[in-house]
Chains A and B, each alone.
Chain A
Amino acid sequence: MQTQDCMAPRTARIRSVTNELASGEVFTWTLEHTDGSALAGNPGQFNMLYAFGCGEVPVSISGRTPNGQLQHSIRTVGRVTDAMRTLTAGTEIGVRGPFGTAWPLDEAAGRDLVVVAGGLGLAPVRPLLQLAAADRIHCRKTLVCYGTRTPADRLYPDDLRRCAAHPRIEVRTTVDRGDTGWRGEVGVVPRLLLQGGFDPDHSIAVVCGPEIMMQFSVDALRQVGVADRWIYLSMERSMKCAVGLCGRCQWREHFICKDGPVYRLDQIADLLGISEL
C-alpha cells in the first residue's frame, strides 16, 4: 500500500472555462475528477489547484453547476494564475482538498442572512447566493451587499439577477466609481449595511473581501447591532501546503488553512485590528 501523502494531488479535468469579466482577469473552471466523479467541498472551503509544471494555488470554492460539478473562480494575479488562464477545457490539472472551515449554513436557519462581499470576495460566497436562490438555505430572508470598483467589475451578474428576482432575497450593490449610465449606489459597502432592512438581533452575517473592507464592514454590522458571535469572515493568507506544514498562513495561534479560512468574529476579534500580524 502506498503511503498517504498530503502533498500529492488527485487528477481532475477542466470541463469548461468561463470568462467572468470583460478584462479576462477572472475566469471560472468547472471541474470533475478524471474518473468522472464530482470534487468534494463545502461553501467556504478551498482547494489547492495545480497546473502542470507551473505550481499550485489555493482557490476558494465558488459554486456548483446544477448537476453538481464544482466551480472555482480564479483571478490572474501572478505567474501560476497567469498560466492557468491559458488552459482550455479538457486539460488535466491536480487538486488537493477540500481544506479549511466552511460557512455555517445550518446556523442561518430562522435568521436573516446578510452576505457582505467586496470585489472578488463575492466568489467564496457565491455558493450561498446559489443556495439561497434555490431555497436551500433555511433563513428568513437574504440580503446581499456587494461592492466593486466599477459596475463592469461585478462578478456573476446572472446569479445577482436571479437573487434580486427572488421574493426573499434583496441585492444591494455599490461601486467605488460609477460610469456613464450607472444609476445605482456609489460608495463603500458598509454604507449598504447602515441602510438596515434586516433584524440585527436575528441575523447572521458572512463577510468576504479585502481585509480592510471586512474590518469596516464589521464596524458597520456592530453599529447596527449584530453581535460578533453572528458575524463570520473569510481570511486570506499566503499558503503553500494547506495542511499546517508550511507555516506560512499563521495568524498568531491560527493556521488559517486549517482553523480558517472561515472564522466566527468573536474567535478572532482581538487579532483583527493588529497590523502585520
Chain B
Amino acid sequence: MNPALEQHRLMHGLNDAERTRLLDCAEPHHYAVGTPVLRQGQAANRLVLITAGRVEVRLSGAGARVTSLETLGPGETLGWSWYVPPGRWQFDSWALEATDTLEFEAGCLRSAMSQEHAITEAVLGELVHTLAHRLTAARLRLLDLYANPGS
C-alpha cells in the first residue's frame, strides 16, 4: 500500500483485513488538467481521495458566474453526496493540475460499512472531519477578515 495512504486518517483504526476490505472498493484514476472530476447534478457514486495534483470545487448555474469555492490537494477527500440524499453531486470539481485520485465506489463502500463497524467509523469519521474543516473554513471566509473595516 502507498505509504501516504497507509498514514491517511481513513485507514486509522482499521486492521489489515478491514483495510483490504476497504481498498477492494477503490480504484485509481487520473485526470488531465482542465477535466471534470465530479459534475454537479449527476448521480453521486463515489468517495474521492486526492493523492496528487489539485482540484477546484466550483458551483455553476444558469446565469451564475462560475465561482471557485475552494481548492483541494493531496490527502484531502472529495465527494460526500453519495451518503447524503438526494445522492447527486452538489458541486462541480475540476482538475486544476494533472491529478491522481483513489476512488471508492459507493455501493461497495455501503456494503463494507454494513458488514464492518470499523469501516463505518473510518468512513464517517473522515466525512465528518472533512465537513467540519470545510465548514470552519467557509465560516472564516464569511467573516471577510481581510476586508477594510474602515470602508
Q: Which residues of A approach B to under 8 Å, CB–CB?
A: 25, 75-78, 81, 118-120, 147-149, 153, 174, 176-178, 180, 182-188, 191, 195, 209-210, 212-213, 216
Q: Are the CB atoms of A75 and B150 closer together than 8 Å? A: yes
Q: Are the CB atoms of B149 and A212 closer together than 8 Å? A: no
Q: Are the CB atoms of A186 and B71 closer together than 8 Å? A: yes
Q: Are the CB atoms of B145 and A118 closer together than 8 Å? A: yes
- Tell me which of B68, B140, B146, B148 contacts A178 (CB under 8 A): B68
Q: How far is the CB of B148 from chain A (nearest CB, A)?
A: 5
Q: Are the CB atoms of B144 and A149 closer together than 8 Å? A: yes
Q: Are the CB atoms of A25 and B151 closer together than 8 Å? A: yes
In this assembly, does B48 line the interface, its C-beta being within 8 Å of a C-beta of chain A? no
Q: Are the CB atoms of B67 and A178 closer together than 8 Å? A: yes
In this assembly, does B100 line the interface, its C-beta being within 8 Å of a C-beta of chain A? no
Q: List 21 A-B contacts (CB under 8 A).
A: A25-B148, A25-B151, A75-B148, A76-B150, A76-B151, A77-B150, A119-B145, A119-B146, A153-B146, A174-B71, A176-B141, A177-B67, A184-B71, A185-B54, A187-B137, A188-B140, A188-B141, A195-B73, A212-B143, A213-B140, A216-B136
Q: How far is the CB of A200 from chain B (nearest CB, A)?
A: 15
Q: How far is the CB of B98 from chain A (nearest CB, A)?
A: 13
Q: Which residues of B contact A76 (CB under 8 A)?
A: 148, 150-151
- Tell me which of B70, B137, B146 contacts A210 (CB under 8 A): B146
Q: How far is the CA of A186 from the CA of B137 in the complex (A)?
A: 10
Q: Are the CB atoms of A81 and B71 closer together than 8 Å? A: no
Task: Count A-B contacts at CB 8 Å.
Answer: 64
- Tell me which of A77, A78, A184, A209 contacts B145 (CB under 8 A): A209
Q: Are the CB atoms of A191 and B145 closer together than 8 Å? A: no
Most chain B C-beta atoms within 10 Å of own C-beta, residue among A148, A177, A185, A213: A185
Q: Are the CB atoms of B144 and A176 closer together than 8 Å? A: yes
Q: How far is the CB of A191 from chain B (nearest CB, A)?
A: 7
Q: Which residues of B contact A177 (CB under 8 A)?
A: 67-68, 141
Q: How far is the CA of A106 from the CA of B136 in the complex (A)?
A: 35
Interface residues of B in 93-150 (CB under 8 A from A): 96, 136-137, 140-141, 143-150
Q: Which residues of B contact A119 (CB under 8 A)?
A: 145-146
Q: How far is the CB of B59 from chain A (nearest CB, A)?
A: 12
In this assembly, does B5 line the interface, its C-beta being within 8 Å of a C-beta of chain A? no
In this assembly, does B92 line the interface, its C-beta being within 8 Å of a C-beta of chain A? no
Q: How far is the CA of A212 from the CA of B147 in the complex (A)?
A: 13
In this assembly, does B43 line the interface, its C-beta being within 8 Å of a C-beta of chain A? no
- Tell me which of A78, A149, A183, A195 contacts B147 (CB under 8 A): A149
Q: Are the CB atoms of A187 and B146 closer together than 8 Å? A: no
In this assembly, does B32 line the interface, its C-beta being within 8 Å of a C-beta of chain A? no
